[in-house]
Structure 1
């Protein structure tokens, strides 16, 4: 059965689903922590958009910290504020009344991003009203990540709706639409399938997906393709040049992913992480990385850093680089 997204039903679906999730979570609880938000739903994108909303709110509140009597731009003050922000981010505490609207909007945005990524992209541009796409948004996009990263890095200024639409159409093969039922299962809302989708019509998928699913391949070939491409797609070049294929950088990194995290670090990464994340303590870094090797996913590895990351700048370049190392190891 094929389906088409009912965009007019996104709001009502999101409201009902947010209420259901909150009812389940707050049964016997009064508050939710930041750590719990990261695992609130099985849809990582929803959780990420909630965190983005909290960070945006925090930035807004910090911007109001101005006074004619004190210099908030002084280097020492800025450093103290940054440390305060990092500390406060580890003490998130939200009641249902404030979480539910955040969750509702996060589900709305996630559905649009997942099943109508072109519409999401255009809405993003209209909301920002800028000539450049907001690259800071990428850190919160966990669905169609490859496609959006390619769009954001390729887009030339000035951008406009027509230009963005044409760009998306040229890169459409990077946006593979998931099965609606499987997506709704993760939100425990599969009973609302008919509310959100119309039967008998095709979701905005691309021909490339159909070609792949109809291709008959042996288990050995599938295994080989999956090993070479993290998104599971096989290109035409792969099919006709299997024997003479030259490993790409991504493939080499993939082969190295079985190494321990510490052994996979470059010299620059080793110095950067030791200095900024572990305060120059090489022994502590080795101990933590060894613990992370026992994880089975990026999320599990990040959870294992909780005892050590109280002073980490979650929005800093070092943290972004650290997450990329974990993705290299576990994805």
Structure 2
């Protein structure tokens, strides 16, 4: 299943790519903020992986402040820590030397995920810093994976089916092999990503595989024959001229499609009683900075109003009126509407 990636060349490529990308920002800014991270690269997966790595390091640092003399499981303490993390998430400011390794790791992971998803998920499973694979960590990672994400969802379902919250790396590897053997359809097309990478630093099949173009074509044919599900493509372009109400209604229809859902999707679509209580820290960060342009007051006011809505029509009409510039096909709007529809289903 592996594509025998040219690891040394890819790492060298990532270094050059990241040097150019960081220069484009830090040549005129001393730090990079959370909002700027989400907009740094045209390849959105890179930006999301930076946030993932950042929050992972943040959790490690946060765990170091715990003292054996205090009860960190007390509800008041947990609420205070959560609020503290929410406040910090709105104050991200990273200098170039600290940001560069985060961007390098994110770029390398993105290349693996696009050009050899099997390699990416195997690397995820065999993280040297962890002794076992955690179901919670897999679900946390899934929030940031937007390319070939169906593979991770299938792996999560298989881990859930074992009834365990943690499994060994060996068992997880066997489950991943089953995923690749059983999922049917093609991986995401790589040509568009080759072009996007190359706008910053030329990327070729020789860099990726250390082979000629002919051999690369053969590898692409083999990869196509592996047949795994292609995720629903997400277009980041602006709206297509529909009215705002129609746009939000189209999104509503998309989430209410008659396609048979997977086990994970069934759980994801279960009704919730509160939007606010089901917004994760990373979602809150993403919504405020991207959908509400950093305006926390506007975010809170909108959530309060939506919590009071009694049906989908009134909620979507409000959003179409107040935020006509939202791109209904963006990941942020998709996730926001997913929560709204769970609340009003």
TM (norm. structure 2) is 0.64
Q: What is the aligned partner in structure 2 of residue 324 from structure 1?
A: 338
Relative to structure 1, is the Cα distance of residues 33 and 140 closer, same or farther in structure 2, using a 3 angstrom cutoff? same
- After superposition, what is the alpha-carbon deviation per residue over 1:84-104, rounded to whole angstroms, capped at 9, x for unaligned? 111110110001111111001
Partner residue of 2:200 out of 160, 183, 189: 189
* Residues in 1 aligned to 2:50 and 2:83: alpha-carbon distance in whole angstroms: 22
Relative to structure 1, is the Cα distance of residues 231 and 205 closer, same or farther in structure 2, using a 3 angstrom cutoff? farther
Relative to structure 1, is the Cα distance of residues 25 and 131 closer, same or farther in structure 2, using a 3 angstrom cutoff? closer
Q: What is the aligned partner in structure 2 of residue 165 from structure 1?
A: 177
Relative to structure 1, is the Cα distance of residues 63 and 274 closer, same or farther in structure 2, using a 3 angstrom cutoff? closer
Q: What is the aligned partner in structure 1 of residue 13 from structure 2?
A: 13
2:215 pairs with 1:201: yes
Give the C-alpha shift of residue 275 in structure 1.
7.3
Q: What is the aligned partner in structure 1 of residue 275 from structure 2?
A: 273
Higher Cα Rg, which structure: 1
* Residues in 2 aligned to 1:268 and 1:167: alpha-carbon distance in whole angstroms: 25
Three-state SS of the structure 1 residue aligned to 2:91 is coil
Q: What is the aligned partner in structure 2 of residue 176 from structure 1?
A: 188
* Structure 1: gaps spanning 5 or more residues: 213-228, 233-255, 303-319
Give the C-alpha shift of residue 60 in structure 1.
1.2
Q: What is the aligned partner in structure 1 of residue 82 from structure 2?
A: 82
* Residues in 2 aligned to 1:141 and 1:98: alpha-carbon distance in whole angstroms: 23
Three-state SS of the structure 2 residue aligned to 1:94 is strand
Tell me the C-alpha RMSD between the 2 structures.
4.0
Three-state SS of the structure 1 residue aligned to 2:274 is helix
1:122 and 1:161 in contact (8 A); partners too: yes
- After superposition, what is the alpha-carbon deviation per residue over 1:113-172, rounded to whole angstroms, capped at 9, x for unaligned? 111111112121111442555232111111112232123213454524344224313326
2:155 pairs with 1:151: yes
Give the C-alpha shift of residue 9 in structure 1.
1.3
2:247 and 2:328 in contact (8 A); partners too: no
Relative to structure 1, is the Cα distance of residues 185 and 131 closer, same or farther in structure 2, using a 3 angstrom cutoff? closer
Q: What is the aligned partner in structure 2 of residue 310 from structure 1?
A: none
Q: What is the aligned partner in structure 1 of residue 54 from structure 2?
A: 54
